[in-house]
Chains A and B, each alone.
Chain A
Amino acid sequence: MIIWSIAKTTIGDALRKKVLQIFLVVAIGLIIISLSFSQTLSFSSRAGSSTDIMLVKSFGLGLMAVAAWLISLVMGVSLIPQEIERRTIYTILSKPVKRYEFIVGKFLGAFLTLAINVAVMGVVFIAVCVFKAWGAEQPLAREESGIPVVGMQQVGLWDWNMVWGVIMIYFQFLLLSSVVLFLSVVLTPTVNFFMGLGVYIVGVMAPLTETLASPDAKLHVVLKTFYKVLHIIVPNFDKFNITNPLLHPETQVKSIPMYTGIVTLYAILYALVMMLLAVIVFRRKEV
C-alpha cells in the first residue's frame, strides 16, 4: 500500500512536469507530421506505398526512442534529489515508511510514468502506421506454377512488429531510467545526467566494447580488462536496436516475440539489480 501510494504520487508529479510534457507533445506532433513527411522524403526512385510505410515506421520508432530517452534521463536524474531539495522526503520518511518502500515506490512510479508516455506515443505511432497502410499497395512477389505473378497487392494494415518495437523501446529506456535512478541516490542531477548519457552511449556501443575485450583484439591487457569490465557492467542497449531495419539490415531474428521476451527479461533483471543497489545505498543515505 505504501509503495503504491508513493508510486502514484510520483506518477502524478512527473506527468505534470512541463519539460516532460514538451518532449511528449513534440514527439507525438512529429509522428503525426510523418504521415506527409514520408511521401516527400522517399529514398526510392520508384517510391511505392510500402516504402512510405517503412519510412513512417522507422521515423516514428526513432522519434519515440529519442523522446523516451529524454524523458527517462530527465525524469530519472531529478526524481529522488528533488524530493530532498523540496523537503517532501522529510514528511514521508518521518512517517512509518521504510526507506526501501520509498525507493521501490519511486522506481515503480518512474517505470509507470515512462510506460504511460511510451504507451501514448505508441498508440499514436501505431494509429499513424495503420492510417498510412490504409489502401496502400505493394508489388506482388509470388509465383504460381513456377511463373512469377506480376502486379500489386494491398499492404496488410496490422503488423505485430509495431507492437514489439514499442515494447522494445519501453524496456530499453526502463533500463536506462533504472541506471539513472540508482545513480541519483549518490550523484547530483547534473553529474548524473552526463553519467547517464555516457552509460547510454557505451551501452549502445556494446558490440564495440565486446570486440575490444575479445582475445583477438591487439590491445594491452589492462585495456582489454577495462573494456571487458565495461562490457559486463554497462547495460547492453544495442540488444534493443533491432527496431530500425534501415540501420540494422543484417539483423536476423527468428522469432521477434521470443527475442523481445528475452531482452525484456534482461531489462527487468538489470532494473531489479539497480533498484536493489539503490535500496542498499539509500539505507544509510543522509537526507
Chain B
Amino acid sequence: MADAISVRGLTKFYGGGLKGIVAAVDNISFSVAEGEVFGFIGPNGAGKTTTIKILLGLLFPSAGEAEVLGKPAGDIETKRRISYLPESPYFYEHMTGAEVIDFYCRLFRMNAGLRKTKTTELLKRVGLASDGDRTLRQYSKGMLQRIGIAQALINDPDLLFLDEPTSGLDPIAHKDITELIASLGKQGKTVFLSSHQLGDVETVCDRVAIINRGKIVKIGTLDDLLHAGRTVVTLARPGDGLVEKLKSLAERVSSDGELVRFYVESEDKVHSLLEAARGKATLVSVVPQRQTLEDLFVEIVREVGK
C-alpha cells in the first residue's frame, strides 16, 4: 500500500533571539499508509501541531522532507484531497452554520447547486440539520466542533488531519465524533489523529507514534506497542550486579526506590528471570498484563523526562 504521508528527517527550529534556537521537531521520520488511522500523541509542546502544520504547508521545515499523497507538503492540488480540523477551531461568528459550510465550499470552487446539496448533507451528517440557520454566536462548543468536522468533510477527503477533535466536548458529542472517525477509517480514508484522549486513540487507531520534545520515541501498531502477553516481574532490593544480569531477559527495566520492575516478553524468559533471581532478591509480584496506551504514554514521557 502506498504512503499517504512520508516524513524523512523533518526538523523545525524556532527562535534565534535571546532565548536561542529551539527544535520543535527534531529529525523525525515516519510514514502513514493509505487507509490507515494513525495516532500522533505526545505531551503539550511535543511538536504535534508543528508537524501537522508542516504537512499542511502552513509552516516550512528547517530541514528534511515531508510528502503528502505523493506530493511535497503544501502542494495546492493535494489540498483538494485533504482536510484539516485544527484544535479549538474558530469560524466567523456572524455567519450561520449553513453560511460557514457554503463559504468553505466556495474555497473548492463548487457551483451554487453543489454547495447547497453539500451544505444540507453535511449539516445532517454532523447532527446540525435543524441548526443551520443559527449564527455561530449561538452555538455551543460541541456544535462548533461539529461545524469544524463538517468543513473538514466538504471535499470527501482521502486524508484528514484532526488535531484534538474531541477536546472539551460533552460525552455525547465526544462519542459521536469518535464514531465518526472510526467510520472514516472503515471507509478507507487515511486519518492523522493528534489527540490527548488516549482512550480514543486506542479505540480508533491502527498505528501510533509517540512524540516527545520533538522526537519520535515510539512508533508501531497498538499490539506491538502495548506488548500483549507481557509480564511484569517486580523484585525488591536486587543487587546492582543482579539487575545488570537480568536486563538481558527484559525488554525494559524501571526502578522505584527499592523496587525494580522487569518487563518481560515471553513465559520462558519469566522462568529464566525468576530462576536467576532466586535467593538474590525478594520476589514482590509476577503480573501478566496488557498495558493501556495511557500507561505506555506516561511511562515513556516520564522516562524521557528523567
- Do A and B assemble together? yes
> In the complex, what distance in Å separates the CA atom of A86 from the CA atom of B56?
17
Q: Name the CB-closest residue of A to B60.
A: A286
- Alpha-carbon distance between A5 and B91 when the two chains are bound, in angstroms: 14
Q: Are A94 and B77 in contact (CB under 8 A)?
A: no
Report A65-93 residues with CB < 8 Å from chain B CB: 86-93
**Interchain CB contact under 8 A, B95 and A87:** no
Query: How many residues on chain B are close to A (CB under 8 Å)?
Result: 33
List the A side residues contacting B108 at CB < 8 Å. Answer: 95-96
Across chains A and B, the number of contacting residue pairs, with CB separation under 8 Å, is 76
A87: contacting residue among B56, B80, B82, B86, CB under 8 A: B86
Judging by beta carbons under 8 Å apart, are A2 and B107 in contact?
Answer: yes
Secondary structure class of chain B's binding surface, majority of residues: loop
- What's the nearest-Cβ distance from chain A to residue B23, in Å? 15
Could you tell me if B83 and A94 are in contact, using CB atoms closer than 8 angstroms?
A: yes
B79 CB–A CB distance under 8 Å: yes
With known contacts A16-B94, A88-B92, A95–B79 Cβ distance under 8 A: yes
Q: Which of B60, B84, B104, B161 lies in contact with A284, CB distance below 8 A?
A: B60
Interface size class for chain A? 20 to 34
Interface residues of A (CB under 8 A from B): 1-2, 5, 9, 12-13, 16, 86-98, 284, 286-287
* B94 with A94: CB separation less than 8 A: no
Q: Mark B48-86, 1 if CB is under 8 A from A, else 0.
A: 000001001111100000000000000011011011111
Q: Are A96 and B77 in contact (CB under 8 A)?
A: yes
- Judging by beta carbons under 8 Å apart, are B109 and A287 in contact? no
Residues of B within 8 Å of A96, CB to CB, are 76-77, 79-80, 107-109
A284 to B58, CA, bound (A): 9
A81 to B5 Cα, complex, angstroms: 30
B89 touches A (CB below 8 Å): yes
If A94-B58, A96-B80, A284-B60 touch, does A87 touch B88 (CB 8 Å cutoff)?
A: yes
CA of A86 to CA of B88, assembled, Å = 9
Listed by A's residue number, 29 A-B pairs whose Cβ atoms lie within 8 Å are A1-B106, A1-B109, A2-B106, A2-B107, A5-B103, A16-B94, A86-B90, A87-B86, A87-B89, A88-B91, A89-B58, A90-B56, A90-B86, A91-B84, A91-B86, A91-B91, A91-B148, A92-B107, A93-B56, A93-B58, A94-B56, A94-B83, A94-B161, A95-B104, A96-B107, A96-B108, A96-B109, A97-B107, A286-B59
Contact A9 B83 (CB under 8 A): no
Measured between beta carbons, the chain B residues less than 8 angstroms from A286 are: 58-60
- How far in angstroms is the closest Cβ of chain B from A84? 10
Residues in B neighbouring A94, C-beta threshold 8 A: 56-58, 79, 82-84, 161
In the assembled complex, how far is the CB of residue A241 from the closest CB belonging to chain B, in whole angstroms? 36
Name the residue on B nearest A4 (C-beta). B106
Q: Is B145's beta carbon under 8 Å from chain A?
A: no
State whether A5 touches B106 (Cβ < 8 A).
yes
Whether B80 pairs with A287 at a CB distance below 8 angstroms is no
Check B107 against A5 for contact (C-beta < 8 Å).
Answer: yes
If A12-B95, A96-B76 are given as contacts, then 19 extra A-B residue pairs at C-beta distance below 8 Å, sorted by A number, are A2-B106, A5-B106, A9-B103, A12-B92, A12-B94, A13-B94, A88-B92, A90-B58, A91-B85, A91-B151, A92-B107, A93-B58, A94-B57, A94-B79, A95-B107, A96-B79, A96-B80, A286-B59, A287-B58
